[in-house]
Amino acid sequence: MAHFQKKRGKSTPGISTASLPDIIFMLLFFFMVVTVMREGERMVQVVTPQATQLEKLEKKSLVNTIYIGRPTQKYQAIYGTRPRVQLDDKFSNHLDADIALFLEQHKLRVNEQLWGQITTSIRADREVTMGIVTDVKTALRKANQLKINYSATPDAARLAQMN
Amino acid sequence: MAIDKKTAPEINAGSMADIAFLLLIFFLVTTTIDSDKGITVQLPPWSEEPPDPTKLATRNVFSVLVNANDQLLVRDEPTDINTLRERTKEFIINPQGREDLAASPTQAIISLKNDRGTTYEVYLEVYNELKAAYDELWEEESQKTFGVSYSDLTTDQKRTIRAKIPLVLSEAEPTSFGEED
Q: Which residues of chain A have pLDDT under 70?
A: 1-2, 4-10, 35-40
* Confidence (pLDDT) at A78: 84
Is pLDDT above 90 for B128? yes
* Confidence (pLDDT) at B32: 59
* C-alpha to C-alpha distance for B12 and B137, rounded to whole angstroms: 65
A32 within domain boundaries: no
- Report pTM: 0.78
CB contact under 8 A, A126 and B119: yes
Contact A150, A45 (CB under 8 A): no
Closest Cα to residue B37, out of B149, B146, B128?
B128
Read off the pLDDT band of B133 (50, 70, 90).
Answer: very high
B103 within domain boundaries: yes
Which chain B residue is nearest to residue A135, measuring alpha carbons? B116
B82 within domain boundaries: yes
A23 within domain boundaries: no
B42 within domain boundaries: no
Contact A124, A150 (CB under 8 A): yes
CB contact under 8 A, A128 and B119: yes
Which chain A residue is nearest to residue B125, measuring alpha carbons? A51
Query: What tens digit of pLDDT does each residue of B24-78 get?
Result: 888 777 765 566 789 999 988 888 776 666 666 688 889 899 988 889 999 888 9
Domain that holds residue A120: 44-158
Domain that holds residue B120: 54-137
CB contact under 8 A, A126 and B19: no
Which residues have C-beta within 8 Å of that of residue A145, sequence separation ≥ 6?
A: A99, A103, A118, A120, B43
A106 within domain boundaries: yes
In this predicted complex, what is the ipTM? 0.77
Half-sphere exposure of B94 (CA within 13 A, CB side): 19
Q: Virtual CA dihedral for A57, A60, A61, A66, nearest 10 degrees?
A: 80
Name which of B5-9, B93-97, B99-103 the model is least confident about.
B5-9
* Confidence (pLDDT) at B59: 83
* Confidence (pLDDT) at A39: 62
B152 within domain boundaries: no
Is pLDDT above 90 for B131? yes
Is pLDDT above 60 for B4? no
CATH code at position B89 = 3.30.420.270
CA A121 to chain centre: 10
- Residue B156 or A24, more confident: B156
Contact B181, A131 (CB under 8 A): yes
Q: Vertex B142, ends B138 and B148: CA angle to 5°?
A: 135
Which residues have C-beta within 8 Å of that of residue B131, sequence separation ≥ 6?
A: A53, B39, B167
The total number of structural domains that make up chain A:
1
B71 within domain boundaries: yes
* Confidence (pLDDT) at B2: 57
Q: Vertex B168, ends B40 and B126: CA angle to 5°?
A: 60
A13 within domain boundaries: no
A88 within domain boundaries: yes
CB contact under 8 A, A133 and B31: no
Of A24, A55, A131, the CB nearest to B17: A24
Of A20, A134, A149, the CB nearest to B39: A149
The total number of structural domains that make up chain B:
1
Read off the pLDDT band of B20 (50, 70, 90).
Answer: confident
